[in-house]
Amino acid sequence: MSATAGIERAEAAEEPQKPKRRRRRWFAWTVVTLLAVWAVTRVGGLESGSFPTQLMTVTPFGAALAALTALLSLLRRNRPAALAAALVCAVMVAVVVPRTISAEQPAAKGAPLRVLTINLFGRADAEAVVDHIRTHDVEVFSALELTYAEAERLDEAGLKELLPYRVLQPELDVTGGGIYAKYPLTELHGLFTPIGHNMPAARVALPGGESVEIVAVHPNPPLGRRVEEWNTVLRTLPSASPSAVRVLAGDFNASLDHRAFRDLLDRGYVDAARQVGKGLVPTWPNFGPMRPFISIDHVLADRRVAVERVEVLDVPGTDHRGVFAALRLP
């Protein structure tokens, strides 16, 4: 009699736990399903619209979230969910981890070219910018969100002596842009149609007779209705050309997890940071208590160009880090 009563009490105590377990399992499977959709969207390049496009930027964090989901599901003895989350994690890791591994470089034997790009935010510390340019012996500087006032501050800080040649399109607000160089520049017209921001293009005449074409890239971010404009800008940027060596440098508002950005790379370019295993080093946002967590600033080079070194630089006064790339032309 007492044994029967004990079993009944145990069953009664178990009853309230069953709905809780079911809720936990339902929640775990919901998270796994959403992560699976994320992974499929990333691998298939299926993002469309503002939110999915922005979500792709944080895919490395999606891999970490999938790993955490797998671990928690395993601890709660939900093995099917744990296995599914682990598979999703593996898929995301497969597309993210290669960015931490240096890629094979072409046997380029041409002139060296040292390129720096910084989104100045209209108020970057001019002396810090010029110090980076001096320290890294920069030969071409792609300046985004360049205002008239910032251009004056840069020259006052010594940029005019270091990079005397320039094709500048500054503005009163942050839609301006410019290219500064150590060597003579010729502005290029008709290479593509800028949308949203000023994006000058120029040919740099290097010592020894070689030349390279530079584009200062800065589309508007893919927020809200601007996502189509962003796609259009990336689609209309000039492809690599067999008759010219091109470098696209700037704030692309895009990462390697965006289909539109990967499509641009497929048109003949390599991402400099990715080539040297620094493709996961974040560049934005970099101000106040915020630390960068996404990589949207890039130097893209013709795939015939060798990337010898890349550094991601902190710049006071702007919310972006700068990207320096030491290149070797074919």
Instruction: Write down the pLDDT at residue 12.
Output: 47
Which residues, including other chains, have CB under 8 Å from residue 317's CB and lie 6 or more apart?
121, 123, 124, 125, 128
Q: What is the pLDDT of residues 259-303, one digit of tens each?
A: 999 999 999 999 999 999 999 999 999 987 879 999 999 999 999
| Cβ neighbours, 10 Å, residue 234 | 21
Mean pLDDT, the chain, rounded, equals 94
* Residue 9, pLDDT above cutoff 80: no
Distances (CA, A) of 273 to 9, 67, 99, 282, 325: 64, 26, 8, 10, 8
Rounded to an integer, the average pLDDT of 223-247 is 97
In the DSSP assignment, the letter for residue 99 is G
The Cα–Cα gap between 69 and 92 comes to: 14
Mean pLDDT, to the nearest integer, of 66-86?
A: 95
Q: Is pLDDT at 1 greater than 60 in this prediction?
A: no
Number of H helices, E strands in the chain: 11, 12
What does the pLDDT look like over 95-134, one tens digit per residue? 999 999 999 999 999 999 999 999 999 999 999 999 999 9
Asked if 238 and 220 count as a contact pair (C-beta separation under 8 A), the reply is no
Burial class (CB in 10 A: 0-12, 13-18, 19+), 58: middle
pTM of the predicted model as reported, rounded to 2 decimal places: 0.93
- Interval 206-212 mean pLDDT: 95
Residue 5 has a pLDDT of 52
Farthest CA pair distance, the chain:
102
Q: Looking at residue 79, what is its pLDDT?
A: 94
How far apart are alpha carbons 196 and 105 in whole angstroms? 34
Positive or negative CA dihedral for 120, 122, 124, 127? positive
Q: Residue 22's pLDDT is what?
A: 72
pLDDT in tens, 90-103: 999 999 999 999 99
Residue 169 three-state SS: strand
Which amino acid, one-letter code, is at 242?
A: P
